[in-house]
């Protein structure tokens, strides 16, 4: 990621007021471990700490993002494939490292995660995966899936899943723009070596 470092620091858990804490508990199942105040409590993930600056926005986004992560019919590994391609193209180091881990938990292999950086033409992909990667590239390049790719996706996805693809790509592009612009740093438990040299970041 290019830039001059952190522009907007995440709000630490000990600075969240009760209203903010209640909001987080309402949307994040593991919130209490970050908010407990115990000496060994893990640090609040930076992505959540950013929402401490704008409670209403944070609440709405966490609810919406929960739908994308839990209430869509698209296979989780395909969702993570889309997110990783967005992270790569948008040069979002935080998003890439986070979803390289989540993608493998969802069923992507290490080789597939690595192949995301090479795009839709890599031999590792099934036809559906190839079309999903192509659609992601088109959405970020020209803000529209072309007719051939749309027709190919319609052969394997229903109308609801097609909308899910569009909203997942658009939503995680939004997050990438936020992460890159505020200078969001990796969490302490993230492995920096999991991030390849993202294009345009200088490594």
Tokens of 101: 């881990």
Per-residue model confidence (pLDDT) at position 78:
98
Considering only CA atoms, which of 146, 152, 110 is closest in space to residue 129? 152
Per-residue model confidence (pLDDT) at position 203:
39
Considering only CA atoms, which of 132, 135, 89, 137 is closest in space to residue 108? 132
pLDDT class for 199, splitting at 50, 70, 90? low
The contacts of residue 202 (CB under 8 Å, 6+ apart) are: 2
pLDDT one-digit tens code per residue, 164-189: 999 999 999 999 999 999 999 999 98
Calpha distance 125→133 (Å, rounded) = 9
pLDDT one-digit tens code per residue, 13-31: 889 899 989 998 999 888 8
Calpha distance 201→63 (Å, rounded) = 31
Q: Write down the residue that tokens 């995301």 correspond to.
A: 116
pLDDT class for 126, splitting at 50, 70, 90? very high
Calpha distance 202→111 (Å, rounded) = 23
Per-residue model confidence (pLDDT) at position 1:
42
Does 4 have pLDDT greater than 70? no
Per-residue model confidence (pLDDT) at position 191:
83
Does 2 have pLDDT greater than 60? no
Q: What is the pTM of this model?
A: 0.91
Q: Is 197 buried (19+), middle (13-18) or exposed (0-12) by CB count in 10 A?
A: exposed
Calpha distance 198→121 (Å, rounded) = 19
Residues in the chain: 203
Calpha distance 88→102 (Å, rounded) = 15
Q: Is 41 helix (H, G, I), strand (E, B) or coil?
A: coil
Does 5 have pLDDT greater than 90? no
What integer best gives the mean pLDDT of the chain?
91
Does 90 have pLDDT greater than 90? yes
Does 135 have pLDDT greater than 80? yes
pLDDT one-digit tens code per residue, 37-54: 788 778 899 999 999 999
Q: Report residue 104 CA to chain centroid gap.
A: 14
Domains with residue ranges and CATH for the chain: 13-69 (no CATH), 73-194 (1.20.1290.10)
How many H helices and E strands in the chain?
10, 0
């Amino acid at each position: 990621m290019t830039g001059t470092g952190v522009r907007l620091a995440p709000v630490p858990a000990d600075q969240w007021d009760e209203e903010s804490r209640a909001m987080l508990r309402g949307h994040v199942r593991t919130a209490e471990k970050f908010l407990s105040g115990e000496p060994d409590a893990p640090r609040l993930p930076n992505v959540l700490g950013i929402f401490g600056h704008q409670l209403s926005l944070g609440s709405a986004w966490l609810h919406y993002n929960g739908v994308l992560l839990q209430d869509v019919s698209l296979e989780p590994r395909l969702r993570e494939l889309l997110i990783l391609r967005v992270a790569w193209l948008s040069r979002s180091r935080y998003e890439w490292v986070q979803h390289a881990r989540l993608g493998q938990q969802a069923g992507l292999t290490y080789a597939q995660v690595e192949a995301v950086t090479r795009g839709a033409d890599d031999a590792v992909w099934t036809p559906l995966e190839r079309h999903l990667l192509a659609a992601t590239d088109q959405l970020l390049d020209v803000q529209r899936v072309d007719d051939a790719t749309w027709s190919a996706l319609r052969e394997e996805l229903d109308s609801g899943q097609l909308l899910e693809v569009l909203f997942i790509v658009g939503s995680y592009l939004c997050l990438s723009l936020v992460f890159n612009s505020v200078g969001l740093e990796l969490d302490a438990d993230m492995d920096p070596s999991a991030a390849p040299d993202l294009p345009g970041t200088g490594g």
